[in-house]
Amino acid sequence: SQQGEEDPQALSIQEGENATMNCSYKTSINNLQWYRQNSGRGLVHLILIRSNEREKHSGRLRVTLDTSKKSSSLLITASRAADTASYFCATANSGGSNYKLTFGKGTLLTVNP
Amino acid sequence: DGGITQSPKYLFRKEGQNVTLSCEQNLNHDAMYWYRQDPGQGLRLIYYSQIVNDFQKGDIAEGYSVSREKKESFPLTVTSAQKNPTAFYLCASSMTAGSSYEQYFGPGTRLTVT
């Protein structure tokens, strides 16, 4: 079953606006990762946040993690048309097999010029 | 250029035929993975390999087989036993097996079986 669930499923904004995507999960995690996928392409790793971290920045990306609520958010500031893509969260569960990432279904972000 | 290559980009097969998808990496990564993606869905793990000559089943291994004879290569065979083989297949690698490491993805192979 899917561990991470992104919300919303789809988001459409104007260039220059901020985009916020959320991810909820069910079990304890070791870390949470965000990936981007352009249409028909492979995934690209964006950022990894560990369970003992609360916030992380990378360029125009800001990721937060609230382990008490089992949720994470990805904020893209000053969006560009090139940010149009699907965004996936992937959780690495603590305990058990530590090889595995479990991906959500993704949020489709459309940035209109 | 360092990275992961998958070939071909598009593949068409008749039902009942086995088909092998290629995945090669020159990142010197120990671990490699195969995922399946269906429309509007996330990725589901088919098989993974932590090291040469070793591989384990993921969540949906039935109807698939793999080999890892070389560090650089991790081909996936979709057999006729796979009931719904039409999908987008993604290969990935990471420095070593373990969820603490980011995964690097290939461009994918879209398989259509009719």
Distance from CA of A81 to the nearest CA of B (A): 21
Within a 10 A sphere around the Cβ of A107, how many other Cβ atoms?
22
User: Is the per-residue pLDDT at A1 higher than 50?
Assistant: no
Q: What is the band of A2 on the pLDDT scale with cuts at 50, 70, 90?
A: very low
Is pLDDT larger for residue B48 or for residue B96?
Answer: B48
Q: How far is CA A76 from CA A12, A60, A79, in A?
A: 13, 6, 6
- Give per-residue pLDDT as tens, A19-66: 999 999 998 888 999 999 999 899 999 999 999 999 999 999 999 999
Average pLDDT, chain B: 93
Which residues of chain A lie closer than 8 angstroms to B106, CB-CB?
Answer: 42
Nearest of A72, A43, A6 to residue B105 by alpha carbon: A43
Distance CA B78, CA B64 (A): 5
Q: What pLDDT is recorded for position A98?
A: 62
A99–B102 CB contact, under 8 Å: no
User: Is the per-residue pLDDT at B47 higher than 70?
Assistant: yes
B40–A105 CB contact, under 8 Å: yes
Chain B CB within 8 Å of residue A94 CB? no
Within a 10 A sphere around the Cβ of A51, how many other Cβ atoms?
15
Q: Which residue of B has its CA nearest to A36?
A: B105
- Interface probe for B, chosen from A101, A107, A108 (most Cβ of B below 10 Å), is A101
